[in-house]
């Protein structure tokens, strides 16, 4: 009895195995045949220009491929011309001859969109995922001239920086300056320094990135003003910092690898300030 049961189970299992094997072989054969005989088509459109104006005609030539070979299945090619607001402007149909076709679309003269969306396909392509459909946006240019925005006028300004912090009367003061516009960009300038009597006492010009320096021997009781021109020829007037009647003028010089610090004392500086704390150096009297 046991032998009969085992024999039955063996035969039943063998039958199921061969049944599954046959089904798998049939499935493989079906998939292979489907891939060989029913490949998805691919479409491509070639245009006469990259962009167009309203009222112009878009000329195109279309190509249909099946795998790596020209398609010989579809004989009709469809193109949807869609505005950038989603409205279908036109639906064109073109005959396919030797896997190629040609056609055109007239852009409406009153079209105001920025682009036209092109969707192209054959009926066979609709059996597959929509990702296989041809899709492209064609730019539409505006006939209305774009008015260039007026550039804001450049407003240059200049700052003066006496070395040591203040300009002192009666001594030689080295004064640096920096000229820039309202955005901080350097401006090339040149000008003169005049006293309160209108006499020119020195001149200056920018050496690098709107910066430069000059030396001013200031007199007590006088005020100084810079009259200068920017790189566009605009004329400007800027007051120099107030002159101190007493104090020291500090200057830093370079000699080879050495740095030399000089202190120039105004003539009215008290005697107890003439010497440095070390008592070995005496500041120079006014010029």
Q: At 76, which CATH number? A: 2.60.40.1930
Are 65 and 161 part of one and the same domain? Answer: no
What pLDDT is stored for residue 166 in this prediction? 82
Q: What total number of domains does the chain contain? A: 2
Question: What domain range includes position 244?
Answer: 157-273
Q: What DSSP element (H or E) covers 55?
A: none
Tell me, yes or no, whether 221 and 122 share the same domain.
no
Question: Same domain for 186 and 267?
Answer: yes
User: In terms of pLDDT, which residue wins out, 268 or 127?
Assistant: 127
Gap between the Cα atoms of 280 and 284, Å rounded = 13
Rounded Cα distance between 57 and 29, Å, is: 49
* Whether residue 185 sits in one domain with residue 105: no
CA distance 43 to 266: 90
| 180 and 250 part of one domain | yes
Cα-flanking dihedrals φ and ψ of residue 21, to 5°? -65, -40
Q: Are 260 and 212 members of one domain?
A: yes
End position of a domain, from candidates 108, 140, 172: 140
What confidence score (pLDDT) does residue 287 get?
43
Domain stops at, among 140, 171, 192: 140
User: Which of 100-109, 256-265, 269-278 tops mean pLDDT?
Assistant: 100-109
With a cut of 60, say whether residue 285 has pLDDT above it.
no
Query: Are 48 and 115 contained in the same domain?
Result: yes
pLDDT of residue 92: 94
93 & 163 share domain: no
Nearest CA among 212, 204, 225, 210 for reference residue 176: 212
Phi-psi region of 111 (alpha: psi -120 to 50; beta: other; left: phi over 0): beta
Alpha carbons 227 and 199: distance in angstroms, whole number: 12
CA 8 to centroid of chain Cα atoms = 80
Tokens of 42: 């691919």
CA 119 to mean position of chain CA atoms:
32
Q: Which of 39-43, 78-82, 253-257 has the highest mean pLDDT?
A: 78-82
266 — pLDDT class (breaks 50, 70, 90): low
Same-domain pairing of 172 and 105:
no
pLDDT band at residue 255 under the 50/70/90 scheme = low
115, 188: one domain: no
Q: Please give the average per-residue pLDDT across 158-183, as a whole number.
A: 88
In-domain check, residue 184: yes
Over the chain, what is the mean pLDDT? 81
Q: At residue 24, does pLDDT exceed 80?
A: no
Mark whether 174 and 122 lie in a shared domain.
no
> What's the Rg (C-alpha) of the chain?
45
Backbone angles phi, psi at 247, to 5 degrees: 140, -165
In this structure, the answer to whether residues 228 and 129 fall within a common structural domain is: no
Strand, coil or helix: 252: strand
Structure tokens, 272: 């107890």
Residue 235 has pLDDT above 70, yes or no: yes
Per-residue pLDDT at 273: 54
The 10s digit of each residue's pLDDT in 53-74 is: 999 999 999 999 988 889 988 9
Query: Is position 32 within any domain?
Result: no
Segment holding 22, helix H or strand E: helix 2-37
pTM over 0.75: no
Q: Given pLDDT bands bounded at 50, 70 and 90, which one contains residue 270?
A: low
In-domain check, residue 263: yes
Within-domain flag for 94: yes
Residue 283 lies in a domain: no
């Amino acid at each position: 009895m046991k032998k009969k049961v085992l024999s039955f189970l063996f035969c039943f299992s063998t039958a199921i195995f061969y049944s599954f094997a046959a089904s798998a072989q049939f499935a493989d054969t079906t998939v292979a045949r489907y891939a060989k005989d029913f490949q998805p088509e691919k479409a491509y459109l070639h245009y006469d220009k990259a962009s167009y104006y309203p009222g112009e005609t878009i000329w195109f030539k279309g190509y249909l491929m099946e795998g790596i070979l020209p398609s010989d299945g579809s004989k009709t090619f469809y193109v949807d011309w869609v505005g950038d607001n989603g409205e279908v402007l036109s639906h064109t149909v073109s005959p396919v001859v030797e896997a190629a076709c040609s056609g055109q679309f007239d852009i409406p003269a009153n079209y105001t969109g920025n682009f036209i969306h092109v969707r192209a396909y054959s009926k066979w392509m609709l059996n597959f995922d929509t990702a296989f459909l041809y899709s492209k946006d064609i730019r539409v240019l505006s006939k209305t001239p774009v008015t260039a925005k007026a550039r804001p006028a450049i407003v240059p300004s200049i700052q003066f920086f006496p070395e040591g912090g203040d300009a002192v009367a009666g001594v030689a003061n080295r004064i640096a300056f920096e000229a820039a516009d309202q955005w901080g960009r350097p401006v090339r300038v040149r000008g003169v320094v005049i006293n309160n009597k209108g006499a020119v006492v020195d001149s200056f010009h920018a050496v690098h990135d709107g910066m430069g320096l000059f030396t001013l021997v200031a007199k007590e009781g006088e005020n100084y003003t810079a009259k200068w021109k920017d790189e566009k020829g605009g004329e400007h007037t800027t007051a120099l910092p107030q002159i101190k009647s007493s104090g020291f003028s500090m200057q830093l010089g370079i000699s080879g690898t050495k740095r030399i610090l000089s202190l120039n004392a105004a003539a009215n500086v008290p005697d107890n300030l003439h010497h440095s704390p070390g008592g070995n150096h005496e500041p120079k009297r006014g010029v």
